[in-house]
Amino acid sequence: MAKKKTETTNNLEVEQIITEMPVEASATEMPKTVTLDVSTDFDVERQRKKQRAAKITQNVFVYIFLTICAVLAFLPFYWMVISSLKTEPEYRQSNPTFFPHTFQWKNYPAVLAQSDNNGSNFWQILLNTLVVGFFSTTIGVFVTVLTAYALARMNFKGKNALFALMLATMMIPGEMYTLTNYLTVSAMDWQDTFTVMIVPFLVSVYYIYLLRNNFMQIPNSLYQAAKVDGLSDFGYLVKVMIPLTAPTLVSITLLKFIGTWNSYIWPRLINTSSWQMITNWVTRGFSDKDIMYPNKFGDSIYSSESLTTLKMAAVCMVSLPLFILFIFCRKYIMRGVSKSGTKG
Amino acid sequence: MAKTKKTSVEPSEEKVTLEEAAIVAEEMPVTAADEVAEQPAAAEETAASFGDKVKAFGGKIKEFFVGVGVKTKDFFGNLFKKDKKTKEEKLGEMAVVAAASDGQIETVVATSLLESKLSAKEKFGRFCRSQSGWLFVLPAVILMAVFTFWPILSAFINAFKQNYSTLTGKYDGWGFENFIRVLKGDTGTGGATFIQCLVNTMVFTFISVPLSTLLALLISVALNSIKPLQKAYQTIYFLPYLTNSLAMGAVFATFFAVIGTTKNTENVGIVNQVLQGLGLLPNETFINWLGTSSPKWVISANLTIPWAKYIVVIIYEVWSGLPFKILILFSALQSVNKQYYDAAKIDGASKNTVLWKITTPMISPMISYLLVTGIMGGMKQYSAIVGLFGEQMGIDYDMGTMVGYIYRYIEDGHMGYAFAGSLILFAIIMIITAINRRISSKKVSY
């Protein structure tokens, strides 16, 4: 009896396998000890249903897990937006609301109207960031393309040594050269110009490395074809290589611009009065003399302390361009980022 | 010799092609040149006999070299100028090349021919043209020399100067005093010490990086097992990658912040309320996650562990580290050969076994990559802490990181300490890299 039982379970397992196995495999590789005379006491349909049910429950769990994680990943963004639209008393009430009762849109104009100690307001700082971002991105990409091309396609003495040296610097924490760069730009009296924000960060070894690898993947036959058609080498770079590596170039451009947008340490260290950057602007406190809040006696007072709702409005404004970039260029950004992973 | 010269000097058009051939010859393996050098006595004779050979081959050899010149892409001679030959001519040349099946021996001849033919001036010009790649890398090299190579050198020099003043450039001899003072906390900065920041950084990194990698692994495996909505989930998970760490740090701070009673309202923060709601915290009590009276363990005078604040940082780090890790692991999972899973299915392996015995080892190179880059990034973290705790990094840098403390030295004008601190950071990163090398060579299956 016991023996028979084990045999049936064995058959059951085999049946499970058979349902998922290619036909020829089941025909040839079946162990000889197992017989397939299970049709009498074994219901294939029922078993299949059981499996399907198990699969569905498993899927349900997977989806629940993924949804919880997605909600948690998204929550900070949602909280940021709704907090920026709440009134300060609503934000401070002991039971937080997950949807604003009253939308206080004037939080945004209130933040925009504020100017810092140097008299520069949001628009000035935004302009600073865009100008710095534009120049550092365009010049940076240009330098990156030239260098990557030379390293990928040209032969000159010391090329490999140079490339090895460049890669070696990737191991060294950026802070180590930030210190000397600080001294250098101070010595050059650059502190209050926008060069100071651009020049030290034009070369990014990592992007050179990325683009070089991309260039090297372009087959030689293309170069030969271009030569036959009478194209010069520079023409080949501009007309063939750059279009072919356009996705990588777009990724690099985007990531470089995002880098400028998010730069915080260097602007803070340099502390120029006229070239403040957007991320530094967020760290300051925002108070508002025009928005009145009731105190505990019901009197309206204005608050000189920094208000979280205003800060969240500022945070929203700084994050918005990144979101827009994400929506329109998600493919490029994800590709650029994932490439960095597979190439590392 | 004379004969051979004569054969090679022919129409003007050939000049270009010979130059190309010469450059190709330069690139040839050294052995060919050595062969000639080893038999100087026989050189003349062989050259003469080869000369006949060359003559016999006629234009074919030249065509061969033209072909080689095209084949092995040399950029030097015609970098910015267009090739004047017509398409048909070029194709003809290439056809001849295809026909020619001669080996090294002609190349040797051509090398010796050309070497003897060119004047020193021409040689120099050709050398310059062959080095035109330097023109392309020049901007990057100059910039890196000033802003990368020199600073690294200078950091190693200045860290050992005692009492170095950046204003006057004066210093009192060389030594390890900067390092000793930084590690002892005897730098006159007040507040938390460098060691405190070092411990902070280590704790943040070594808890948050493995945690977020594990979570990312689970999420990517789950993501890989579903079909509908996969793209949508992937997008949502990637969203936090494109954020400003300062801004999002400030948002996280609002989750934990206890807003106090200035307006006669008590808002203990969402996290405390959720914990109370789940019964993990007794009612009416809350944890002061971010404030001055945040709970902490005091280890010694120089070292405290503000664990509540640590939790905040770690949660933020896990959240912000996930997108990149999910992206990498998910794409790694998709490239795993499906046959392994089929084999496992046939063997009746459970889901758990498949995950830990097949999936994880298969993508272990990526996991190890993520751990290493995560730890290296974690060692350099700074702006998120500022977003969470403000520019003072907690109370007088009690939540500081190494990088934050280095910048503090700069802002206080202690450049020598800053250099020493950055070298300590560098050393730690190097040690981690070395350890990783050793481990991954044993454990990671590529």
Closest residue on chain B to A258 (Cα): B242
pLDDT at B420 over 80: yes
Question: Shortest CA distance to B374 belongs to which of B340, B336, B324?
Answer: B324
- Residues of A in Cβ contact (< 8 Å) with B273: 95-96
**Same domain flag for B201 and B318:** yes
In a domain, B139, yes or no: no
In a domain, B136, yes or no: no
d(CA B297, CA A284): 31
Asked if A183 lies within 8 A of B403 by C-beta distance, the reply is no
**Same domain flag for B96 and B195:** no
* Helices of type H across B169-306: 177-184, 194-224, 230-238, 245-256, 270-277
**Same domain flag for B96 and B231:** no
Dihedral in degrees, nearest 10, Cα atoms A267, A271, A273, A277: 20
Helix, strand, or coil (residue B267): strand
- Residues of A in Cβ contact (< 8 Å) with B146: 184
Q: Are B108 and B36 in contact (CB under 8 A)?
A: yes
Per-residue pLDDT, A304: 56
Asked if A230 lies within 8 A of B219 by C-beta distance, the reply is no
Which residue among A172, A234, A322 sits closest to B152, beta carbon to beta carbon? A172
Is the Cβ of B377 closer than 8 Å to some Cβ of chain A? Answer: no
Is the Cβ of B384 closer than 8 Å to some Cβ of chain A? Answer: no
Q: How far is B115 from chain A (nearest CA, A)?
A: 19
**Same domain flag for B114 and B201:** no
Q: Which residue has the tokens 């490339």?
A: A163
In a domain, B319, yes or no: yes
Helix (H) or strand (E) holding A292: strand A288-294
What is the domain-level CATH number for residue B346? Answer: 1.10.3720.10
Q: What's the CA angle centered on A176, arms A174 and A182, to 5 degrees?
A: 95
pLDDT tens by residue, chain A, 344 residues: 444 444 444 444 444 444 444 444 444 444 545 555 555 566 788 888 888 888 888 889 999 999 999 999 888 899 889 888 887 777 777 677 778 887 878 788 888 877 666 667 788 888 888 998 999 999 999 999 989 988 888 788 888 898 888 888 888 887 788 888 888 888 887 777 778 888 888 888 888 988 888 888 888 888 888 888 888 777 888 888 888 888 888 888 888 888 888 888 888 888 777 777 888 887 776 766 555 555 444 555 555 566 778 888 888 888 888 888 888 887 877 777 766 543 32
d(CA B437, CA B435): 5
Helix, strand, or coil (residue A204): coil
pLDDT at B213 over 90: yes
Q: Which residues between 197 and 256 in chain B have a beta carbon less than 8 angstroms from any beta carbon of chain A?
A: 215, 218-219, 222-223, 225-226, 229, 233, 235-248, 250-252, 254-255
Per-residue pLDDT, A14: 45
Q: Could you tell me the two tokens for B329? A: 């692991």
Dihedral in degrees, nearest 10, Cα atoms B59, B65, B66, B71: 150
| Rg of the Cα atoms in chain B | 34
Where among B88, B105, B131 does a domain terminate? B131
As for the ipTM of the complex, it is 0.77
**Same domain flag for B127 and B276:** no
- Residues of B in Cβ contact (< 8 Å) with A154: 75, 132-133, 136
**Single-letter amino acid code for the residue at B384:** A
Q: Out of A140-144, B37-41, B231-235, B361-365, give the one with best mean pLDDT.
A: A140-144
In a domain, B308, yes or no: yes
pLDDT at B136 over 60: yes
pLDDT tens-digit map of B53-77: 445 544 554 454 444 444 444 444 4
pLDDT tens-digit map of B283-319: 667 777 777 777 778 877 778 888 888 888 999 999 9
Neighbours of A170 (CB within 10 A): 11
Helix (H) or strand (E) holding B300: strand B297-300
Question: Shortest CA distance to B245 belongs to which of B380, B388, B371?
Answer: B388
Per-residue pLDDT, B55: 54
Q: Are B417 and B166 in contact (CB under 8 A)?
A: no
Is the Cβ of B154 closer than 8 Å to some Cβ of chain A? Answer: yes
* Helices of type H across A21-121: 23-28, 44-85, 88-92, 107-113
Is the Cβ of B297 closer than 8 Å to some Cβ of chain A? Answer: no
Q: Are B402 and A176 in contact (CB under 8 A)?
A: no
Q: Could you tell me the two tokens for A235? A: 């023409």
Q: Could you tell me the two tokens for B55? A: 């003559």
Which residue among A151, A173, A296 sits closest to B429, beta carbon to beta carbon? A173
In a domain, B365, yes or no: yes
Percent of chain B with pLDDT over 90: 5
pLDDT tens-digit map of B241-292: 888 888 888 888 888 877 654 444 566 778 877 888 887 777 667 777 777 7
- Residues of B in Cβ contact (< 8 Å) with A79: 251, 254-255, 270
Closest residue on chain B to A314 (Cα): B247
**Same domain flag for B191 and B102:** no
**Length of chain B measured in residues:** 446
Provide the greatest CA pair distance for chain A.
95
**Same domain flag for B202 and B113:** no
Q: Are B193 and B362 in contact (CB under 8 A)?
A: no
**Same domain flag for B251 and B327:** yes
Which of B263, B324, B410 is the best mutation test for A, with the most CBs of A within 10 A?
B263
Neighbours of A8 (CB within 10 A): 12
Question: Shortest CA distance to A208 belongs to which of B131, B139, B133, B140?
Answer: B140
Neighbours of B278 (CB within 10 A): 8
**Single-letter amino acid code for the residue at B41:** A
List, in order, residues 6 or more apart from A137 with CB less than 8 Å away: A253, A256, A257, A260
Q: Are B32 and B111 in contact (CB under 8 A)?
A: yes
- Neighbouring-strand partners of residue B297: B305
- Residues of A in Cβ contact (< 8 Å) with B379: 173
Residue A179 φ then ψ, to 5°: -60, -55
- Neighbouring-strand partners of residue A27: none
Closest residue on chain B to A162 (Cα): B141
List, in order, residues 6 or more apart from B276 with CB less than 8 Å away: B268, B282, B283, B285, B286
Q: Could you tell me the two tokens for A97? A: 């609301």
Which residue among B84, B139, B239 sits closest to A73, beta carbon to beta carbon? B239
d(CA A124, CA B262): 34
Q: Are B16 and B77 in contact (CB under 8 A)?
A: yes
Helix (H) or strand (E) holding B317: helix B307-334
Candidate from B21-35, B180-194, B320-334 with smallest mean pLDDT: B21-35
**Same domain flag for B196 and B286:** yes
d(CA B113, CA A14): 77
Q: Out of A174-188, B110-124, B197-211, B346-360, give the one with best mean pLDDT.
A: B197-211
Q: Could you tell me the two tokens for A331? A: 């493919």
Which of B152, B224, B242 is the best mutation test for A, with the most CBs of A within 10 A?
B242
Candidate from A311-320, B18-27, B208-217, B404-413 with smallest mean pLDDT: B18-27
Q: How far is A102 from chain B (nearest CA, A)?
A: 18
Which residue among A21, A66, A322 sits closest to B219, beta carbon to beta carbon? A66
Q: Which residue has the tokens 């060389």?
A: B174
Q: Which residue has the tokens 């010149």?
A: B69
In a domain, B362, yes or no: yes
| Residue B339 lies in domain | 183-443
**Same domain flag for B125 and B273:** no
Q: Could you tell me the two tokens for A307? A: 């208000």
Q: Which residues between 89 and 118 in chain B have a beta carbon less than 8 angstroms from any beta carbon of chain A?
A: 90-91, 94
Question: Shortest CA distance to A282 belongs to which of A306, A301, A257, A259?
Answer: A306
Helices A205-216 and A246-262, interaxial angle, to 10°?
Answer: 170
Question: Shortest CA distance to B186 belongs to which of B417, B445, B12, B413?
Answer: B417
Q: Are A275 and A57 in contact (CB under 8 A)?
A: no
Per-residue pLDDT, B219: 92
Q: How many domains, in total, are found in chain B?
A: 2
What is the domain partition of chain A in residue ranges? Answer: 2-92, 115-285
Q: Could you tell me the two tokens for B61? A: 């050899």
| Rg of the Cα atoms in chain A | 31
pLDDT at B13 over 50: no
CATH class of domain segment(s) A115-285 = mainly alpha
In a domain, B343, yes or no: yes
Per-residue pLDDT, B444: 60
In a domain, B168, yes or no: no
The rounded mean pLDDT for chain B is 73
Q: Could you tell me the two tokens for A179? A: 């210190």
Q: Are B307 and B290 in contact (CB under 8 A)?
A: no
Tell me the mean pLDDT in the region B83-104.
51
Q: What's the CA angle centered on B311, arms B285 and B242, to 5 degrees?
A: 125
Question: Shortest CA distance to B376 belongs to which of A344, A256, A213?
Answer: A344
Question: Shortest CA distance to B179 belongs to which of B426, B357, B431?
Answer: B426
- Residues of A in Cβ contact (< 8 Å) with B387: 283
* Helices of type H across B347-414: 351-353, 360-362, 364-379, 383-389, 402-411
Question: Shortest CA distance to A149 belongs to which of A35, A42, A234?
Answer: A234
